[in-house]
Structure 1
Amino acid sequence: MSTPSSAGTSGSADLLFVEADVVTLDPSRPRASAVAVAGGVVVDVGGDEVAQRWRGSRTEVVPLRGAALTPGWVDGHSHPVGSLTMSAGADLTGVRTLGQLRDALARLARENTDGWVQGWGLMPDVFPGGVPRADLVDDVLGGPDGGALCLLRMADAHSALASTSLLRAAGVDGPRRFASTAEVVCDDSPDGPRPTGFLLEWDAMLLVDHLAPRAPDADLRKRLHALLGDMAAQGLVGAHVMDGDASSLGLLARTEDDDDLPLRLRVAPFCMPGVDDDGIAELIAWQSRVGRRWGVAGVKFMIDGTIDGGTAWLEHPDVKGESTASYWRDPQAYARAVRALDAAGVPTVTHAIGDRGVGFVLDVLEPLGPPAAADGSGSHGQRRAPHRLEHLETLPDHLVARIGASGITASMQPTHCSHFVAADGSDNWSQRLGPERAGHGWRIRDLLQAGALVVLGSDWPVANYDARAIMAAAQLRRPVEDDDAAPVRPDQAISGAAALAGYTRGPALAVGDASRGAIRVGAVADLTAVGVDPTTAPPADLAAAPVVMTVVGGRPVHRTL
C-alpha cells in the first residue's frame, strides 16, 4: 500500500484510474489497482486509498473495470514519416505469385490515368529465383516504350523494381557508382551492361524515386496525423523514428503546427555514406530541433543492407555469392562518423543485419566504454551517449555474448521473423543464408539471457505497427492469426512479461530516460490501458484485446470509455 509520503502530497488529480489491474513494471510495487495523475506525471500508485486522497471536484475518474493499465507502449523502430513515401500506391503485401502481380499491375495500369503505377511491400519470392526483373512485367504495363511508369518498392524497403519505361524516363541506362555500395543491377549484353530494373539500396532507388508523384503538403500532413492517430488507438504512446532529413523534419513541424501529434516521436535522422564534416556538424545541430511531442535525439546509420536483396554484410557469402560488403565503401568512414557523434554526446543507431556487419559495429562501439546509467549516475570513462544495434538478423554465439556484455541495446522486430520466414526454410531469406546461419536468426531469447537490453518494434511500413500482435508474435514465433503456421525457431520465444518490457522499460532505458517505462510516483504519465494483462494473457487473447485508453503526458489521446 502506498503512503502519503511515497506520493508526496495529496490533492486533486487530473486523472484517477480505479478498478484497474495495474502492471507497474516497478519492482518495488509490481501491482496496484489505482493510479493518480496530475500535471502530466504519476502522483500516486496503490489501492482504494489513492482515490480517497486524490479525488477532487475536477478529477476525471476512469473506472477500468479490471482492464490492465501498463506503462505506455513505445515502438522501438518505426518509419511513420518515411512511410508516406515508402507505402505509396497499391499494397502488394498479399501478392504471392508472379501471375498475381501481373494481374494487379495490369489492373492498376488501366485504372490510373496519370500514367503512373506505384506499389509497396512486394516480396522478391514472387519472381523466379527471387530476383525481380522489369521484363517480367513491362508488357502488362503497356510495354517498355510508352507504357505506364512503374515503381514497386520491395518489402525490405531497401530495394525496388523500376519498369523499363521508368528507367528510360530517369535516364538510367547502365551501372552507376555511388558513395555507398548501392547498385543498379545490370545484365550483360552485346551492347554493354543493361539495367534489369532491380535497384538495390537507397542511392540507386533515388535515381527514379524523385520522379514519382508527390501528394500536396496538406495531404501529407493530414495522412501523417491520421497514421499517428491510428498508432495511438492501438496503444502506442511513442515511437523511435529511424530516418529523417530536412524535409521530413519540416513536415513534422508543420503537422504539429496544425494540431498536437497523437504520440511522441524521437527522431534519428540518416547519416549516409559520403557524409563530410559539414554534414556531421549539421546532424549535431539538428539535435536541438524539438516540438511539443517530437524531437531529434540521435543519428541513424546503416552498415549493411538486407539478406533478401544480397546486400547484407556476412562473414561468408550467401549461396549466391552475395552479401559480402559493407554499405559504406569505406567502413572506417562510418567509424569516424560514429566517434565524432559520440564525442558530441549524440546517440547512434545502426542498422546491422549480417554477422560481419554486427561484428564491425561492435568493434567501433565497444571501445567507447559502457553506457551511462539512465539516472545520470555512473563512473569515470562511461561514454556520453547510448548506442544501439538494429535488426541483428543472424548472430553466431560469440556475437550474442559480445552484445550482452557490451551494454549496447539490441533492437529487434519479432514479426520480421514470424511473418517473413518459413519454418521449413523455403523462403528467400533462409535459402540465401543456408540452414546453419538461418538457424541463428532473430535470437531474442538468447540475447536476453546474455544480459542484453532488448527493445522491440515493428519497422513500419515493413511490418504492421500493432504492438499487441507483435508482442504475441514474440511469444509464438509465428503469426498470431495463423494457428496452423509452424513456429520459426520456437526456442527463441520469450514470455509475455519480456515482450511487454520490450515495449516499455526497454525503449526508456535504451535512450537513458528514467522518467518512463514504469508506473511509479514521479514518472511521466504515458500509459496504455488494454483489455487483458499482457504479461499473463494467452498471446491470441492479447492480440484481440481492445485498447481501452492511451494517455500521453497525462492527456488521453485515444479512449473507448
Structure 2
Amino acid sequence: MDLSTTVATDPAPDSATASEAAGDGRPADLVFLSGPVHTVDPARSRASAVAVRGDRIVAVGHDAEVRDLVGPATEVVDLRGKLLIPGFQDAHVHPVGAGLELAQCDLSAADTAAEYRELIAAYAAAHPRAPWITGGGWSLEAFPGGMPTREFLDALVPDRPVFLVNRDHHGGWANSRALELAGLSAHTPDPADGRIERDADGRPSGMLQEGAMGLVGELIPEPTLAERTAGLLRAQRVLHSYGVTAWQDAMLGRAPGLVDASPAYAAAVDAGTLTARVTGALWWDRSRGAEQIPELLAKRKELTAGRLRATSVKIMQDGIAENHTAAMLSPYLTACGCASDNSGISFIEPEELCRYVTLLDAEGFQVHFHALGDRAVREALDAVEAARRAHGLRDTRPHLAHLQVVHPEDVPRFRRLGATANIQALWAAHEPQMDELTIPFLGAERAGWQYPFGDLLRAGATMAAGSDWPVSSPDPLA
C-alpha cells in the first residue's frame, strides 16, 4: 500500500455526496482526484475523489462527479493512483520530549552498550561547553539486569554531570558527578515513589527508578521556551511525515525527570505554528491531593485555544514491570522463581484515587491513567466505577493506557464502564527485554495475561492506539 498523502479535516458524518455538493453551485477550495480513497465509511468504503470547502469535506465520490466542483481558484491534487486516507491520530504520545531528545544525546537508534559508549563519547566531544550531558533512549536489555553503572559513564565523561533517561522514560542513568551534585550517598533514603539502585556497598550505582529520577533531574537546567518550542515543531514535522495529524499529549506539566510541554504548546498556538489537533493531558501531582483541582481547571481554560484542548488529566498509577514498580495483585517472582516481598507501587492510594477521579469527572475532565500492572488496572477501573456510580455514564471517555498485565476478570469491565483501552501495540513483542527482564519475574500465568488486545476487542471494549513516542516508533503503519 503506497501512502502518498493525508488530509487533516474534521470528521464530517453529514458530508454531502458529490451530486448534493455540486447542487449548491459553489466550487470547492481543494479537490483530490484519481484515488483510491479510503473513506472509513462501511456503506461507501472506497471512492476516487474528495472535495474540501473551508475546513470540511463536502463531497466524496467518483472523479467525474467531484470534478464538477473544480472552479478557477480550486487547488487540484492528482493522487495518481496512490491512497488517500484521513490523518492518523496518536492516542498517547510525548512530542515535546521526543523533539528535545532528537537534539540531545540521542541513543534511540542504538541497541548495545558498545554503541552507547561510542555515541556518548562523540556527543560529549562535540559539545565541550555543555554544562550537562543529557538525552536518552537507551535500552534496558543492553545491560545485565537492565542496570547500567555510573562507572561506565565516568570513563566517558568524568568532569561533567551526565543524566540519560532510558527508552521507556521510567529510569535515569547518572554518572558520579551528577550523583554528587544531587547529594546522593549510601545514606540517602529512597523516595516514596521511586528507588535508588545501589551497589554492594549501598552506594548509588547510577540507576534511578521512577520518582528517584527527580533527585538528579531537578538539577538539570530547564530547556528554554525557544528550545521547547523548537522541540515541539521538530516532533510535529516527524509526526506529520507519518501521516499523524492529531494526537493526545499524554503529559502536560512537571513530572519527575521530564520537561513541562505546556509553554511550548501555548507559544505554538500564539504563533499559529501548531498545525495538528492536540488534546493535552494535564499532569496530576501525586504528592498532592484534591486541592490541585482548581489549578487544573485554570490550566484547562488557559491552554484550550486554537487547535489545542487541555481537557484531560494524566494520573500515573504505577511504574513498569521491568524494574518491578508496576503494581501487581500478587508479588513478583525472584530470579529463582520464588515469591518476593514486592508487588510494585501504587502511586495513589486506591480509596483516594476513587475520590479524585470522581471529582475530576464532576468537572468534565477525561482521566488518562497510566495503568500497567494488573493491580493498577483494577484500581483505575474501580475509580472509574466510583465516578460512574456518582454521576452516571457521562461522555468523559476515561482512558487506561499501556495495560501490560490485565486480570481476566477485569477485561469485561472496560465495556461496562465505558473505559477506553489505550494500547501500545509495539510493546507486545518477544524482544530480549521481555524474555529476560519481565516473563521470568511475572511467572507463566501472568505472562499469559499480557497485552490482551484481542480479549478486550472481543469483549466490546472501545480501543485507541498510541505510540508513546519517544518510547517506541511513532509510525502508525508499524
TM-score of the superposition, structure 1-length normalised?
0.74
SS of the residue corresponding to residue 369 of structure 1 reads: helix
SS of the residue corresponding to residue 269 of structure 1 reads: strand
SS of the residue corresponding to residue 459 of structure 1 reads: coil
Distance of 1:220 and 1:139 partners within structure 2: 30
Q: Which runs of 5+ in 1 are unaligned?
A: 371-379, 470-561
Give the C-alpha shift of residue 56 in structure 1: 1.7
* Conserved? CA contact 1:8–1:43, under 8 Å: no
Give the C-alpha shift of residue 4 in structure 1: 4.2
Distance of 2:103 and 2:436 partners within structure 1: 25
* Conserved? CA contact 2:33–2:77, under 8 Å: yes
Distance of 2:348 and 2:251 partners within structure 1: 21
Give the C-alpha shift of residue 291 in structure 1: 2.6
Kindly report the root-mean-square deviation, in angstroms, between the aligned alpha carbons of the 2 structures: 2.8
Residue 291 in 1 paired to residue 305 in 2? yes
Residue 207 in 1 paired to residue 222 in 2? no
Distance of 2:398 and 2:244 partners within structure 1: 23
For the structure 1 residues 103 and 279, does the alpha-carbon distance in structure 2 shift closer, same or farther, using more than 3 Å as the test?
A: same
Give the C-alpha shift of residue 105 in structure 1: 3.7
Residue 152 in 1 paired to residue 152 in 2? no
Give the C-alpha shift of residue 208 in structure 1: 1.2
Residue 234 in 1 paired to residue 242 in 2? yes
1:169 equivalent among 181, 201, 205: 181
For the structure 1 residues 432 and 123, does the alpha-carbon distance in structure 2 shift closer, same or farther, using more than 3 Å as the test?
A: farther
* Conserved? CA contact 2:327–2:345, under 8 Å: yes
Letter in structure 2 aligned against 1:229:
R
For the structure 1 residues 459 and 3, does the alpha-carbon distance in structure 2 shift closer, same or farther, using more than 3 Å as the test?
A: closer
* Conserved? CA contact 2:96–2:231, under 8 Å: no
Letter in structure 1 aligned against 2:409:
H
Residue in 1 that maps onto 2:275 = 262
Letter in structure 1 aligned against 2:81:
G
For the structure 1 residues 327 and 20, does the alpha-carbon distance in structure 2 shift closer, same or farther, using more than 3 Å as the test?
A: same
Give the C-alpha shift of residue 83 in structure 1: 2.8
Task: Report the more deviating stretch, 56-65 or 96-105.
Answer: 96-105
* Conserved? CA contact 2:94–2:249, under 8 Å: yes
1:358 equivalent among 377, 387, 392: 377
1:55 equivalent among 51, 70, 75: 70
Listed as ranges, the matches of 1:10-89 within 5 Å are: 10-85=25-100, 89=104
Give the C-alpha shift of residue 3 in structure 1: 6.3
| CA-to-aligned-CA distance 1:246-285 (integer Å, 9 cap, x gap) | 8532221112333421312110111021223331111122
TM-score of the superposition, structure 2-length normalised?
0.86
Give the C-alpha shift of residue 300 in structure 1: 0.6
* Conserved? CA contact 2:59–2:66, under 8 Å: no
* Conserved? CA contact 2:357–2:387, under 8 Å: no
Residue in 1 that maps onto 2:227 = 219
Letter in structure 2 aligned against 1:446:
D
1:125 equivalent among 136, 141, 150: 141
Give the C-alpha shift of residue 6 in structure 1: 7.7
Residue in 2 that maps onto 1:386 = 397
2:361 equivalent among 314, 317, 342: 342
Give the C-alpha shift of residue 106 in structure 1: 4.1
Task: Report the more deviating stretch, 209-218 or 57-66.
Answer: 209-218
Residue 415 in 1 paired to residue 434 in 2? no
Letter in structure 1 aligned against 2:145:
G
| CA-to-aligned-CA distance 1:76-128 (integer Å, 9 cap, x gap) | 11001233456663222344444444444444444431353234111222222
Residue in 2 that maps onto 1:403 = 414
SS of the residue corresponding to residue 155 of structure 2 reads: helix
Give the C-alpha shift of residue 417 in structure 1: 2.3
* Conserved? CA contact 1:4–1:10, under 8 Å: no
Distance of 2:177 and 2:281 partners within structure 1: 35
| CA-to-aligned-CA distance 1:51-72 (integer Å, 9 cap, x gap) | 2442222111222122222222
SS of the residue corresponding to residue 42 of structure 2 reads: coil
Distance of 1:108 and 1:82 partners within structure 2: 18
Q: Which runs of 5+ in 2 are unaligned?
A: 1-15, 255-259, 335-339
